Every structure is written in structure tokens, then in C-alpha cells.
Amino acid sequence: MKTRLLTLFAAVLLALNVSPETATEQEKGEQVIADFEGENPVASTFTTHKAKVSVVRDAPEEGGKSAAKTVVANKAGAAGYFGTGFSFPDLDLSDADEIRFWIKTDIESQFNFQVHSDENKRIRVFQFSTDGTKPGTWKQITAPVASFTVPQWSKGKADLERVKKIQITAFGSGPYDGRYIIIDNVVSSGQRRHSPSAKPTATDKKDGPEQRGGPIHLKRTELPSASKSPPEGFRSLFDGKTLNGWKAFARIPVPQYPGAPFKWRLEGERLEVARKNTGRWAIEDGAIVGGQEPPGSGKGAYLVSEEKFGDFELIMDMKPDWKTDSGFLVRTLPGGSPGMQILVDHRPQGGIGGFYGNGIAGVHGMPFAIDAEYDKEGNPIRMIAANPDGDRVELNQKTRDILNYATDVDELLKVWKWGEWNTIKVRCEGRIPKLTTWVNGLKIAVLDMNAIEWENYDAEACARLMGSKGHISLEVHNNNFNHWLGTDRWWPGAVVRWKNIFICEL
């Protein structure tokens, strides 16, 4: 797919009067498509409202000397949205993998990166956000082509072989009059084939779930895990055949803590659209299988028990693919969140058996961090301890000190069964609960929520929010592709499996 971007944006360069790289450079994994350094590089621009587009001497470190700046007129009337973009002759994006570009703006908003064909009739979009980004600072956006969606207002899916324009549009936080957007260094990433019209061959190297992610049992033939009978005092919450007793919900954003200001609130049509994506849930070989819908879309979901529980012990078998950010929440509200999550973050720098407070002040208790070792082909082959000095480290003294008990990663590695079923257990007791977790019989962590010191955490307020009883919620996490985790949070096509779900009410 990466090849298509190279072909596509070589044409973009012509449209923008930007010189393409040499053929030799195009063969590499990365190519600069538009750096706005040539003559008249913004000659083919357009805007949705009155605005001025110019070349400015302002660029990120990774860029050159110039970038394209769009300034919205003070009386443009851009109340609900504003867009700026480039038109060009038909381009072929059909083999593209991802598009990267830099943006600098004083707009805190949701944005769409749009790809158009047939003028404005057929469109695909990749959504990103600048909320939380300091105005006037550069931010790089990565837009995987597989994650583009078709908006409701489009008359169909854009034909990636005949792309006519690209556009960046802010929406939902207007008015945008007087605001600016600067774009620089549009880059394609991928492996170029020798002809723009070349079709995939058996020898082409293709990225996919088997490369540094995806199912971790690809290389082995495994006998199905036998169903179990509930231990004494426990009863089953899953019949092994249907989703009776469970209901799927979309993963809707919630405020960080009770009473928190909430800029991510979805309302009206956006909320109705979001509610419709309740994930992909199926029964396979006696297990619940959960994944993103559609696969690779980045859209997560919950599967929530119809029953509510107060004090209990909960046991379940889980089998996550590598690079899934999952687990389950306890004492949740009916929609699956807020609640306290038991982490099964089976991904780089992930935690197993720790805790995260979804809507509970982001309380984060993490005893250790894990990663994977890979073979020569890039396939994960076993779990290892994460590099404490590596990139994107989540484990720190604070996340470990918040726990009343925390085992070491070496102990977890002795009991974790890579690519097989693992048994997770949690005990939840108390109005302001104390939570204890085990993995395959090994005690992992203890968190006393009545003794937490954490920013914005109010034990009484959170206890009132969760209530004395709540639901059990199985999680498929979303992944914002602009977040540092990207596809490492949920690899395209990956799934998590649950079975033998038993509860004992205390």
C-alpha cells in the first residue's frame, strides 16, 4: 500500500510545482511529497470560506524553510467548519499505505483529512484532533489509508485510483474566522513498486497482521481450550454459545472524573453516529471474540453484562492477539464506562493485571510493563519485560507506588502462556472497593481505592458515580492513530477472546 502514496504524491508535487525526488529516492521507504519550497507551490489551493493562502518562512525541524499558511478572513462566516486544500490532476492512491504531514494552527478542534474523487461527490476522511495541543506548535499527523472512512455527507467512497484533491477541514469548535492553519512536509511512506500501475505479486512484501503484530499463534497448531465447569460457589455469565446476558455498546468518551469539564462530549448527530458502532462480537469455538468494526478502523466498543454486581470474585479465560489494548471493567455504568479497568494491555509497554480508572480520574496502577521478542520475519514469539528506558514508557514510580501490592515482571513471565489461554481473576469488595488481581494463580496487584492519592481523584465522588453495584464490561479499545501508540494499541485485524466467565457474589 505504501507504494500508492509515492505514485499519488509525485503527481501532487507537479500540481504544487514542487520537484519530486529522484527515482532512486522514490524506491526508499519514505518520500517527501510537498515541502512548499518550489515556485508557486500554493497555486492550486482552495478554501471553503474566504481566506488567504500564502507561503511562509515557518516550518518544523523536519521540514524545509517554507510552509503553506491559510488565514481565515475575519468576516468569513466560518461558524461550523473551515477547510483548505489542493486540487490536482487525477492521482492514483490505490496502493497507498499512509500519509503524514505537519500542521500548526491556533485552532483547537476536530479535523478531517479528506481525499476526494469526482469533484465533491465521493470522499474518504481520516479524523484527527488538535485538542490538547498547544496553539502555535507543530504537530505531525499520520493518516493510515486503511483507517479512512466514508462520511455520511459523501455520495459514496472516493475512488483511490482517481483522486482529484485533498483537503483539511476543522469542524465542531467554530467559529473559525480570523484563525490560521499551516501545513508542511506532506510525506508518503511505503515500498514503491516499479510501475504506478503494477499489481501486487507473490514476491511483494506486504505489511499485515503477521508483521510485528496481529495473531500470535500463526506459527502453531493449537488444540481448542476445553470448556470448564464453574468452581464451587461460582456461576457462569457466558453460556459458550450466545451473547445472552450481554449487550454491545459503542465506546463513547466520558469525562475524566466526576464533574470534570468535558470538551470531548458528543452530541446530536455525531453522538447518534458514534452509538451505532458497537464493535465486532462473535462466538467462535465456545469463546466470545471481540474486535474493532470494521477491522483496522480504530473504533472500539464494550460488551456489557446485563446484570449488576457489588462485591464479588470474577474469573475469566482470555486469549489476546499481540498488540491489543484490552481487559475488562468492573462496577461500570450501563454503557460499559466509567468504571475501573483490569488491564490486559497485550502490547508494547503494556500492563497485565494492573488498573486504570476510566472516568475515575485516570487512576493508573501498573506493577510492570511487558513487550515482545520477534523473529527474523518480525513475528512476535514470546513475551519479555519492556525496556524501562525505551520509547513511550508508561510504567513509572507513581503508577507502581499507588498499588498496595505489586509483583515483579519476572514472576509474571514465569506463568504467562504465550499464544494460549490465560486465566485472569479479580476480587472486588467494599463500597469504595479494594481490588486484587491474579494471573494463572499468581497474585499480581492490589489497589485500595479508599487510600489513593491521585490528581483529581475524590474517593467519595467516584464511589457515588460507580455505585455499590455495577456491570462487567469487556473492552475493545479504540486507537487514535495520532496518539503515540498508533496501531500498537490495536493492530489492524487483531482480536481478543474470552471464555469460561464465572462469578461468585460475596
Do 317 and 177 share a domain, yes or no? no
What would the mean pLDDT of 278-283 be, rounded to a whole number? 92
Grid coordinates belonging to 335: 454503557
Same domain, 159 and 242: no
Please name which of 434, 436, 432, 412 lies closest in space to residue 422, comparing C-alpha atoms.
Answer: 412
Strand order of the β-sheet with 301-305 is: 246-250, 301-305, 471-476, 324-332, 339-346, 352-358, 364-365
- CB-CB contact of 316 with 473 (8 Å): no
The pLDDT assigned to 105 comes to 95
Q: Say if residue 190's pLDDT is above 80.
A: no
Best-predicted range by mean pLDDT among 53-67, 107-121, 286-300, 441-455?
Answer: 441-455
Looking at the structure, do residues 185 and 249 belong to the same domain, yes or no? no
Give percent above pLDDT 90 in the chain. 48
SS (H, E, C) 95-142: CCCEEEEEEEECCCCEEEEEEEECCCCEEEEEEEECCCCCCCCEEEEE
Q: Is residue 213 part of a domain?
A: no
Q: List, as own/partner pairs, every contact residues 413-419 make where C-beta atoms lie below 8 angstroms and the sequence separation is at least 24, other chains included.
A: 413/383, 413/384, 413/385, 414/442, 415/439, 415/440, 415/441, 415/442, 416/352, 416/383, 416/440, 418/216, 418/381, 418/382, 418/383, 419/216, 419/217, 419/220, 419/222
What's residue 6's pLDDT? 42
Residue 196, Cβ neighbours under 10 Å: how many?
17
Q: Are 506 and 429 in contact (CB under 8 A)?
A: yes
Handedness of CA 169, 174, 176, 179 (dihedral sign): negative
In a domain, 291, yes or no: yes
Final residue of a domain: which of 158, 189, 220?
Answer: 189
Segment 249-271, tens digit of pLDDT: 998 888 999 988 876 666 677 66
Q: Which residue has the higher pLDDT, 36 or 26?
A: 36
Average pLDDT over residues 365-383: 89
Same-domain check for residues 271 and 363: yes
Residue 468 lies in a domain: yes
Indicate whether 5 pLDDT > 80.
Answer: no
- pLDDT of amino acid 186: 75
Residue range(s) defining the domain that contains residue 15: 2-189
Q: Are residues 147 and 289 in the same domain?
A: no
Average pLDDT value for residue range 470-474: 98
Co-location of 33 and 178 in the same domain = yes
pLDDT in tens, 317-348: 999 999 999 999 999 999 999 999 999 999 99
Q: What is the mean pLDDT of residues 180-209?
A: 50
Q: What is the CATH number of the domain that holds 382?
A: 2.60.120.560
In this structure, what CATH number is given to the domain that contains residue 157?
Answer: 2.60.120.430
| Mean pLDDT, range 27-33, rounded to an integer | 49
Q: What sign does the CA torsion over 209, 210, 216, 218 have?
A: positive
Q: Considering 155, 189, 223, which residue would you say is the last residue of a domain? A: 189
Question: Same domain for 303 and 439?
Answer: yes
Cβ distance 168 to 183 under 8 Å?
yes
pLDDT at 287: 95
Mean pLDDT of the chain, nearest integer:
82
48-92 pLDDT, tens digit per residue, is 999 999 888 887 876 667 888 999 999 999 998 899 987 766 777
pLDDT in the model for residue 201: 35
Residues 260 and 397 reside in one and the same domain: yes
- Written as one string, the DSSP assignment of 348-396 is TTB-EEEEEEETTTT-EE-S--EEEEE-TTS-EEEEEE--TTSTT----
Beta strand extents in 172-245 (DSSP E only): 180-189, 235-236
Q: What whole-number distance in Å separates Cα of residue 482 and Cα of residue 366?
A: 24
341 CA to centre of own chain: 17
Residue 96 in grid coordinates: 497507498
- Answer whether residue 408 is part of any domain: yes
Strand partners, 318: 422, 498
pLDDT at 262: 75
- What's the pLDDT band for 374 if we cut at 50, 70, 90? confident
Strands 280-284 and 287-291: antiparallel
Question: Cell for 408?
Answer: 515483579
Tell me which of 33-47, 86-100, 198-212, 387-401 is least confident. 198-212
The pLDDT of 214-218, averaged and rounded, is: 49
d(CA 417, CA 383): 9
**What's the pLDDT tens digit per position in 401-445?**
999 999 999 999 999 999 899 999 999 999 999 999 999 999 999
pTM to 2 decimals?
A: 0.60
CA dihedral sign, ordered 186, 36, 32, 139:
negative
pLDDT of 429? 97
Asked if residue 42 is part of any domain, the answer here is yes
| 380 located within any domain | yes
Do 456 and 315 reside in the same domain of the chain? Answer: yes
CB 200 within 8 A of CB 191: no
CA-based nearest residue to 157, from 126, 113, 123, 125:
123
> Of 189, 224, 258, which residue constitutes the final position of a domain?
189
Q: How many structural domains comprise the chain?
A: 2
CA distances from 16 to 34, 190, 369, 496 (A): 7, 21, 46, 45
Whether residue 355 sits in one domain with residue 463 = yes
- Nearest partner of 177 among 96, 265, 253, 74, judged by Cα: 74
Q: Is residue 336 part of a domain?
A: yes
Q: What pLDDT is stored for residue 172 in this prediction?
A: 82
- pLDDT in the model for residue 162: 80
Distances, alpha carbon 174 to alpha carbons 50, 83, 110, 111, 177, in Å? 15, 12, 10, 12, 8
pLDDT of residue 482: 65
Q: Are residues 179 and 244 in the same domain?
A: no
CB-CB contact of 117 with 139 (8 Å): no
317 located within any domain: yes
Q: How many CB atoms lie within 10 A of CB 70?
A: 22
Same domain, 182 and 246: no
